[in-house]
Chains A and B, each alone.
Chain A
Amino acid sequence: MTREPRAVVLKGVRKRFGDVTAVADVDLEIRPGELMVLVGPSGCGKSTLLRLIAGLEEHDAGEVWIGDRCVDEVAPGSRDVAMVFQSYALYPHMTVAENLGFGLRVRGAGPAEIGRRVSEVAEVLGLGGLLSRRPGQLSGGQQQRVALGRAMVRDPGVFLFDEPLSNLDAALRLQTRDEIAALHRRLGTTMIFVTHDQVEALSLGQRVAVMDRGRVQQLGTPHEIYRRPANLFVAAFVGSPPMNRLRLARDGEGRLAGGPFVFPGSSPHPEATLGVRPEDLTVAVVAPPASGPPPGSAGTRPGPHPSPEFTATALRVESLGSEQRIHLDGPDDAAWVARAPSALRIAAGDRVDVSVAWQRTHLFGPDGSRTGAAPQPGRGSHPGTPA
């Protein structure tokens, strides 16, 4: 596929449905050959954005550029894009081969060319034996492949995927995810992939755009999105289990305080939110009085044991095999979750010492945007990591 990949650029694109603003002034640039993932909760406007790019909806304001032309007046079929739908949208009365060849056929390609392209794509996707079947006779995974193949046959400049994996079972979803990544490496085509699943987004995207209420909340690499969430929404949406949060308020001396923590230095904000990812908490079981060596000490994080910030009760312990999730009654009775190695011996009801890796925490201002990491409380000497 010697095709020149195309850039997709959205300039101030807005779309309203009656009173609902589905897409609100989105500026987004997808680089040629990039695999960009749009992620966000249901109803945030991801599909609408994708359909605007495809030309299936008309935007109310702004411009959509594909490659080096503005496509606002260009019909969907002429935009050099192909789209894979969540429901696959296979035509039930056509065979797999006819479905695959439909895009070429309506463009007036000859039967020989159609046959050649269809068999090429069928070979890549392993659909060879299914060409004469109809969609109703295929499994969900096979239908998904046909939908993929239908997009590939036309060798478009941009691929658009609207939640193509959400109708598959978990194992097949993982497998297909890998295949799409491999396909992207092979073809080098621009791909825009919409999903509501943040794990899928982080694992698949070269860059990820997190959307909420019609706006792009953050655009960045998966690492940036995870480690430096731009605001509370992104922080809460990305990561599983979600980030632990604690509301902080300014005390009499101008310091932020909440739960057992008092942070040094005077704060410009009257209040803030502390965010700690579950893996940045370290849990150790408190030795019962008049007993032997502390039973939990063997399983805690290796290296020098940080001094515990607070003690809590393990309310519930989820064992996931590779790790454990410990639900705690966190500071100020906030429900917190910590991740711990599976070797840690702990049961519900145990008292635990909890320490925090402060340099990896997040502080969010009153408007929700990230201001940086939280300083180490109490000791006062730890400088705030720049955001």
Chain B
Amino acid sequence: MSGAGATNAAGAAGVTPLVATGAAAAATAVILLVAADALSGAREQATREEARAAASLYEVPGVTEADVVSLLDGRARIVAPEAGGSGPGAFAYRAGALQPAAWIAVEPADEGNGWPWAAFVLALLGVLCMAAWAAARRRAPPPSRYPAAATLLCAALFALVAAAAQQWAHGELGAVSSARLARGLRAAGIAGAAGADPEAAARVAGLPWASGAALGEPDRIWTMPREAGEAIAADPQLRSAPRYTVVAGGATYHGGAVALREGPAGRAETPAGTLHLVFLGYEETSSPTVALIASAIGSALVVSLVLFLLPLAARPRALARTLAAWGFLAPAAALLLVFTFGPLLFSLWISLHDWRLVDPAHPFVGLENYRALLSDGGWWSAILNTGVFTLHVPAAMAVALALALLTRESRRAVRWARLALFLPSVTSVVAIAVVWKWLLNDGYGLANRALGAIGIGPVAWLTSPDVALVSLMVIGVWMVVGYQMVVFQAGLAAIPRVWYDAAKVDGAGPWQRFRHITLPGLRHTLFFVLVTSVIGSFQVFSLVYVMTEGGPLGATDVAVYHIYREAWEFLRFGNAAAMSWILFGVVFAATWLHFRLLERRGAHA
């Protein structure tokens, strides 16, 4: 730890701490940036909700402009619609039910300076410590111990930074949500004073069950112990009490409540005098555990990167090549990460939560969504429909293979068949679906008119639960047959003609040649087409969406359409994500099984 050691010029050994320090600083910056971004997002969100609450409040009869301004701590302006509601730096919201429309404009919250200075200083301290340590070790560096020491230091440093950043972000978020909660409660208070009932008050406060959820929803109404209830009842400021924090499932909820006294005039079936505490607002702040795990993974990545680069540091050419290679790979890897693995993991995350769009809190429920699916008849009937629909794949493959064989000998026939049959594959599915919907219309559809001309009664192509799915399967065949045929033609062209010559001389007839040469020669192609088509069929959506909307009577409700409705009509994202993962599991298992079978059968081919 001598000064002389520290002032020694950096030699080859100095590369190690330099690289490690650089990596540490970069990672710190990234963590801080992410934390700051999360915070500003939370603030913005809080401001939006605040504005929405204020707008709702304005709709409550008896609530004056002054009330709204007071709720927003004087930061609100009520502006005329013509004004557009968007002053400099203001958020504007339309209060939907107001006649005439009015706008509530809210200045964005400006709290804190947005930068986690404390964490920054801590990180800087850590970096300095490490630099000092590295300098002290410089004299006689035991090279074998460098990686281990560097790993330890990096890990410690990152844990430190992550914890600091997390602590800070957590506190900040907690403050944001508490403030929002307080405003919600105040809004409820104002609305209550203006004569609105508690339900309206909750709606004004922009809180979950205000958006149409029933008051009786059990997990939103907490029945308190008698003493607590009486304490609340004794409180003159009933509506703004109590406020509490619940830590559950790794997340922190800041909550507030209004108490409802059930009187004889209220709900008849409730025993008189019972107090219900309505959980009016709660705010989840993300759990420190998750952030710590994330930063641990991040640290591990950075450390392993450093360890990977360390041995290369002594060989600049190799280092340059490696860096160049990673440079070229980076864009593709980043795209993959952001647009493929990111959403995938996010949906997995969602599927473990009770995630509804109307509800700002997403409590962790573990596998509850999956468990619920087991007994969800609608979902399983959708799966069954998907399975039945998928039967169109083997039919299409048989047709496509026959066409490919028929057009095999003639180049011109190949070209024409391709042109005619490949068209559906390059046409928008929606356009196809619209045309088919028109063709298959019960009354004026071409299909029924043609049938009528030869005296066959109209068929309810898309309106009969027995026929609709079959109709869709026929259209499915028509859509994929061209693509499959082209792939089969390519596969056939790859089978050496001499095999057929040998088989002919051996005495094999056309069927035997097909059975013993064409089919085995095509089996990779067949497998490829089967797997891709089955996956495609499992994902069928547009066809159903445009033509039948899952009807009639759910007869064409397929898995993806079901998921779509669960998410975007019923806004139950947790369930929808769980369904997606089950679908994924099914497809994955099917593909894996296929691959295994193929591997075993074709190991020596």
Contact = CB atoms under 8 A, between A and B. Distances in A.
Nearest to B602: A93
A230 to B, nearest CB: 32
Given A76-B504, A106-B506, A106-B509, A89 B605 contact: no
Contacts of A137: 604
A56 B513 CA distance: 14
B508 interface: yes
Interface stretch (B15-23, B416-424, B438-446, B495-503): B495-503
A106 B498 CA distance: 17
A134 B505 contact: no
- Give the interface centre of A75, A81, A133 by most chain B CB atoms within 10 Å: A75
A102 B516 contact: yes
- Give the interface centre of B503, B517, B520, B523 by most chain A CB atoms within 10 Å: B503
B605 A54 contact: no
B507 interface: yes
Given A85-B498, A106-B509, A134-B605, A91 B504 contact: no
Q: Which range contains the number of A residues in contact with the other chain? A: 20 to 34
B534 to A, nearest CB: 23
A54 B523 CA distance: 29
A77 interface: yes
Interface string A48-66: 0001001110000000000
A235 interface: no
Interface string A124-136: 0000000001101
A154 B502 CA distance: 13
Contacts of B499: 89, 91
B505 A82 contact: yes
B304 interface: no
B237 interface: no
A136 B604 CA distance: 7
B507 A134 contact: no
A56 B523 CA distance: 26
A107 B503 CA distance: 11
B507 A89 contact: no
A78 interface: yes
A238 interface: no
B289 interface: no
Interface string B514-531: 001100110100000000
Nearest to B507: A77
B502 A83 contact: yes
Determine the main DSSP class of B at the interface with A.
helix
B512 interface: yes
Interface residues of B, number: 21
Contacts of B506: 77, 82, 102-103, 106, 150, 154
B500 to A, nearest CB: 9
B507 A85 contact: no
Nearest to B513: A106
Contacts of B498: 85, 87, 89
A124 to B, nearest CB: 19
B323 to A, nearest CB: 41
Contact of A92 (B501, B508, B512, B605): B605
Interface string A87-106: 10101111000000011001
A107 B516 CA distance: 13
Interface string A198-219: 0000000000000000000000
Interface in A156-186: 160
Contacts of A106: 503, 506-509, 512, 516
A56 B508 contact: no
Nearest to B515: A106
Contacts of A92: 605
A91 B505 contact: no
Given A89-B498, A91-B516, A91-B517, A81 B604 contact: no
A56 B501 contact: yes
Contacts of A55: 504-505
B492 to A, nearest CB: 16
A190 B501 CA distance: 21
Interface string A339-377: 000000000000000000000000000000000000000
Given A83-B505, A85-B502, A93-B520, 19 more contacts: A55-B505, A56-B501, A75-B504, A76-B505, A81-B505, A85-B498, A89-B496, A89-B498, A89-B502, A91-B502, A91-B520, A93-B602, A102-B516, A106-B507, A106-B512, A133-B604, A136-B605, A154-B507, A160-B505
Interface of A: 51, 54-56, 75-78, 81-83, 85, 87, 89, 91-94, 102-103, 106-107, 133-134, 136-137, 150, 154, 160
29 contacts: A54-B501, A54-B505, A56-B504, A76-B504, A76-B507, A77-B505, A77-B507, A77-B508, A77-B509, A78-B507, A82-B505, A83-B501, A83-B505, A87-B496, A89-B499, A89-B502, A91-B499, A93-B602, A93-B605, A94-B516, A102-B503, A102-B508, A103-B506, A103-B507, A106-B507, A107-B507, A134-B604, A134-B605, A150-B506
Q: Give the 6 A-B CB pairs with smallest separation, nearest first.
A: A77-B507, A103-B506, A89-B502, A134-B604, A93-B520, A106-B508
Interface of B: 496, 498-499, 501-509, 512, 516-517, 520-521, 523, 602, 604-605
